[in-house]
Structure 1
Amino acid sequence: MDEFNNVNQTPQQNGDGYIPPQQNNGAAPSAPQDAEPRTPYQTPVQHPAYQAPQQEQQPPQGTPYAQQPPQDGQPGGAGKPPKKKGHGKAVVIGLCGVGAACLLFAGGALLGTFAFSGGADPAADGSAAGPLPTVQIADTPKLDPDNYDVVNGLAGEEIYKKVSPSIVSVIAETPNGTGTGSGVIMTADGYVITNNHVVEGAAQVTVQLSEGDQLAAEVIGTDEQTDLAVLKVTPEGELAAAEFGDSDALQPGEYAYALGSPGGVQFANTITGGRISAINRDVTINDRVMTLIQTDASINPGNSGGALINKYGQVVGITSAKLSGNAFSAASIEGMGFAIPINTAKEIVDELIANGYVTGRPSIGITGKNVESTDGSVSGVQVYSIDSRAKAAKEGLQVGDVITAVDGKPTPTMDDINSVKENKKAGDTLTLTVYRISSDKMINIKVTLMDAHDLEGDDPAAQQEAPQQEQGGGYYSPFPFFGW
């Protein structure tokens, strides 16, 4: 599902690491114009007419949404553990406006294209490959009144000595510049976890170890929806793999540390400290809803992909974003950083290593817009296009239909549709209640969900746009603002 008035947030100068090193001249960026529409909680499939911007900070100007509708995304049922109640509060932040706060990725924006392996490569010599590695989460130390370290945690200097060798800088090169982020060594043989947005579009990726050695890295797999990526380097010896801890065991108020490369490799392996501010924060970043850990440990551009560490020296999160004041306002917001819980990241990382992508995410295969009739009698999501590869295209759903309920639950917005769909998997069915304008009737249509991966890329058969107002035949749409 797409909603055309939700577009990518453009990183601001001081709130994000998207400005490549040695390219920031200190000038405030211009206010974002029209960018390719993006999809909440999913990765969009680009419209065939859409031309990728040359600079992510400067999306195409003056592109009417109605002329370039986005294609369906990959809505996600990525395994997300049940939320603990009472600890978090939803934070939904839209476009950056004057006086508004912006939730921004903390790493570097990178452009171009890159190839990834689509899974771990068998042994090059043809011998049988061993079992693929997975993220191993250690138990949280149990309280022991006689052991100061277990009760109160390790001292900061002990945590640094323990974790710093497991933290790397990630250098991503594109034709338009170089960006840097951070990473966490997952295995001694060279698997590294980082953020998708750190390596997205990179033509070449290099990992710099804590002692300064640099190794060429292969991108094993990426997942834009959860902002995770896995790299692989080939070290001469064993690397210092991080110890991962149980992020579900975190409590607001306990000590936390962030370790990464804020500002680039010249500040590699910088440690900052603070507290776990909240858990299970539902936040919207670039129109994707993510459930994250909030911390006041300082997270800055370049920290993306690094480690959020508990008081026992265990990596419990992958730092991803920070809340920043708008560059066009006087607002100053500090101490609000966010990290992907490692318990959430585990399933994604394991799938990226095994497959190169996340399997089983359900997708209807449509794009749409939240609409409401002028008399208020009908509200829902009007279908703007249907991917020819989606089963919904053959099961009776039509462009122009307004989805008003899913499995009997009213769905006045696409977020409501996604909330029902995220509990399903590819191959499951949904019963859509739709208002068909041409016949002025409500009908039920059963559609089969697709694996979102099968709908990636451009639709081989471009679909027609949803009808606007009557023009030389056809029917009158009661939704005059559709497509604006």
Structure 2
Amino acid sequence: MDDFNHNNNNMTPESRGDEHKESQQPTMEQPATETQYSEPRTPYQTPVQHPAYHQATQQQPYGGAPYAQDPMGAAQQPQPPKKKKHGKAIAIGLGGVAAACLLFAGGALIGHMVYTGDGNAVKASAQAGDLPTVQLNETPNLDPDNYDVVNGLAGEEIYKKVSPSIVSVIATTASGVGSGSGVIMSEDGYIITNNHVVEGAQSVTVQLSDSTQYDATIIGTDEQTDLAVLKVEPKDTLTAAEFGDSDELQPGEYAYAIGSPGGVQFANTITGGRISAINRDVTINDRVMTLIQTDASINPGNSGGALINKYGQVVGITSAKLSSSGFGEASVEGMGFAIPINTAKEVVDELIANGYVAGRPSIGISGYNVESADGSISGVQVQTIDSRAKAASEGLQVGDVIIAVNGTPTPTMDDINEIKEDMKAGDKLTLTVYRISTGKTLNLTVTLTDAHDLEGDDPAAQSSQNSQSSQYGNGGSQYQNPFSYFGW
């Protein structure tokens, strides 16, 4: 279970008053009604999709990709630690959004595929022993006869070098078959791709650049970063990609993408362009991802493939593109996005070692952003607490309003998540909460739980309607906001 908002109103009170002293019960503005809720929020701005959103997206495939449902739907885990902080993110939604449409570039349609994400994935944990890791390389020594100081290696040299390391990934679900791309990271058959390429897969096949096919096992997936690792058992040694340092990229330098746009029939297609921007914070359905922007053509089927620098090193995993469909008649060209390999390395290494990303922190709550009418209290009202979370036994209660974490005011869940961003499971937080039932402010010390331990349904969960009405004596089975009961 991840920590998330059910209401993301942007509330900035002029004065919060003295939050650490006993206070009278102010009059609280009501949270938005259910139809007004924004997408629920999780750590690092990761969405747990609202049911109404899922229903809508299941009816409308997007961008010619085979995924009718948002492939990054309900978040499983937050993104890895030390996410760089940048300016305001570009908010771009999937499917039918008025402003624009950012599409995952994975999975060209083969036959008729509706990616439901609820298939029985074929997964296996890596065995203990010597396991490969992503190795980042410095700028290589280049042959001056084939290298241009400004443009780098010739395109044909880059293709010869990298193409043998790029594969097509064919995923079969109960609803159909779709394909994406992948990057060979080790000679013994570990392959990086996107989570949304293999999400819900019952079986996965990998096709090499020479058309050889192997059955693949899903070693691990990470929905938060949209990364996955596959493993094949090749007859011969595979050609592993050379990985570069994505932190060294500069806007304006040449870049190439190799993948399977449109499906396996267009496998190992190379496109070229420039690095358009680095550290671009892009919001996809309320999920903030820090990506590399490029004008190298990225199309459905490219997902999981390689973004390559001018030295022939893989510096990103291609994942998304900006579509013109949201602009009506307006034209949008050359806006593709890739996951930086420096970000992917941490996740991929964890997936190979554990099958999941360990150590991500979670309080184990869901809640609403709320504010009192006079602005004296502003914070996150706890709606649910997962019984498996340590906070459940450390004094936090449903209905508490978290107004500060470690002494820093937290008027929204995003503010709480920002503080948690550089922490890990097992660390302790001091939560300053306003307890509605007593009208007092108190400090609680809670221990962050590994988000992996909170995956799936809470075995002791009760409906929020019953737990809320029972605690606050409202009666009935319908959820009633406790603020109304206490005059908030």
* TM-score w.r.t. length of structure 2: 0.80
Pick aligned residue for 2:5 from 3, 6, 26: 3
**Partner residue in 1 for 2:273:** 274
**Partner residue in 2 for 1:223:** 222
Q: Could you say what secondary structure the match of 1:360 adopts?
A: coil
Matched, 1:302 2:298: no
- Matched residue count: 432
Q: Could you say what secondary structure the match of 1:159 adopts?
A: helix
- 1:464 & 1:457 partners in 2: Cα distance? 15
**Partner residue in 2 for 1:112:** 118
- 1:79 & 1:395 partners in 2: Cα distance? 25
1:110–1:198 contact (8 Å) kept in structure 2: no
Q: Could you say what secondary structure the match of 1:4 adopts?
A: strand
2:206–2:216 contact (8 Å) kept in structure 1: yes
- 1:375 & 1:114 partners in 2: Cα distance? 51
**Partner residue in 2 for 1:90:** 89
- 1:208 & 1:55 partners in 2: Cα distance? 34
Structure 1 residues 106-145: aligned runs within 5 Å: 106-108=105-107, 109=115, 111-121=117-127, 129=129, 131-141=130-140
By how many angstroms is 1:286 displaced? 3.0
* Aligned partner letter, 1:164: S
1:388–1:463 contact (8 Å) kept in structure 2: no
**Partner residue in 2 for 1:214:** 213
- 1:391 & 1:216 partners in 2: Cα distance? 41
Change (3 A) 1:165 1:273: same
- 1:441 & 1:332 partners in 2: Cα distance? 56
Change (3 A) 1:118 1:441: farther
By how many angstroms is 1:317 displaced? 0.3
What is the RMSD computed on CA atoms of the aligned residues? 3.4
Q: Could you say what secondary structure the match of 1:376 adopts?
A: coil
Q: Deviations over 1:386-411 (max 9, x none)?
A: 00011111111111111111111111
Q: Deviations over 1:135-190 (max 9, x none)?
A: 11111247998984455311111111111111111110111111111000111111
**Partner residue in 1 for 2:256:** 257
- 1:72 & 1:365 partners in 2: Cα distance? 13
2:429–2:445 contact (8 Å) kept in structure 1: yes
- 1:197 & 1:162 partners in 2: Cα distance? 27
* Aligned partner letter, 2:6: F
By how many angstroms is 1:119 displaced? 2.9
Q: Could you say what secondary structure the match of 1:74 adopts?
A: coil
Q: Deviations over 1:64-97 (max 9, x none)?
A: xxxxxx9996334x144656x7xx7632335766
**Partner residue in 2 for 1:39:** 42
- 2:38 & 2:440 partners in 1: Cα distance? 35
By how many angstroms is 1:414 displaced? 1.1
Change (3 A) 1:411 1:434: same
By how many angstroms is 1:340 displaced? 0.7
Change (3 A) 1:95 1:308: closer
Matched, 1:182 2:181: yes
* Aligned partner letter, 1:58: Q
By how many angstroms is 1:45 displaced? 7.8
- 1:194 & 1:71 partners in 2: Cα distance? 19
Q: Could you say what secondary structure the match of 1:305 adopts?
A: coil
By how many angstroms is 1:435 displaced? 1.6
* Aligned partner letter, 2:160: K
* Aligned partner letter, 1:111: G
By how many angstroms is 1:37 displaced? 4.8
1:74–1:363 contact (8 Å) kept in structure 2: no
**Partner residue in 2 for 1:11:** none
Q: Deviations over 1:305-356 (max 9, x none)?
A: 0000000110000011112234583343221111111111111101100110
**Partner residue in 2 for 1:422:** 421
Structure 1 residues 131-210: aligned runs within 5 Å: 131-141=130-140, 148-149=147-148, 152-210=151-209
- 2:194 & 2:481 partners in 1: Cα distance? 46
By how many angstroms is 1:296 displaced? 1.0
* TM-score w.r.t. length of structure 1: 0.80
Gaps of at least 5 residues in structure 1 are: 7-32, 60-69, 123-128
**Partner residue in 1 for 2:59:** 58
- 2:223 & 2:393 partners in 1: Cα distance? 29
1:45–1:458 contact (8 Å) kept in structure 2: no
* Aligned partner letter, 1:252: P
- 2:261 & 2:75 partners in 1: Cα distance? 35
Structure 1 residues 233-248: aligned runs within 5 Å: 233-248=232-247
Change (3 A) 1:71 1:145: closer
**Percentage of matched positions with identical amino acids:** 74
Range that drifts further, 299-308 or 89-98 = 89-98
Gaps of at least 5 residues in structure 2 are: 9-35, 61-72, 108-114
Q: Deviations over 1:26-48 (max 9, x none)?
A: xxxxxxx999956363777899x
1:89–1:281 contact (8 Å) kept in structure 2: no
**Partner residue in 2 for 1:27:** none
Q: Could you say what secondary structure the match of 1:430 adopts?
A: strand
Change (3 A) 1:192 1:42: farther
Q: Deviations over 1:177-220 (max 9, x none)?
A: 11111000111111100001110110011111111121100000
**Partner residue in 2 for 1:369:** 368
1:279–1:292 contact (8 Å) kept in structure 2: yes
**Partner residue in 2 for 1:21:** none
1:258–1:271 contact (8 Å) kept in structure 2: yes
Change (3 A) 1:146 1:97: closer
Q: Could you say what secondary structure the match of 2:201 adopts?
A: coil
Q: Could you say what secondary structure the match of 1:219 adopts?
A: strand
Q: Deviations over 1:209-258 (max 9, x none)?
A: 11112110000000111111000011110111111011011001100011
Change (3 A) 1:102 1:476: closer
**Partner residue in 2 for 1:449:** 448
Q: Could you say what secondary structure the match of 2:395 adopts?
A: coil
- 2:255 & 2:41 partners in 1: Cα distance? 33
- 2:312 & 2:233 partners in 1: Cα distance? 26
Query: Would you tell me which structure has more helix in proportion to its own residues?
Result: 2
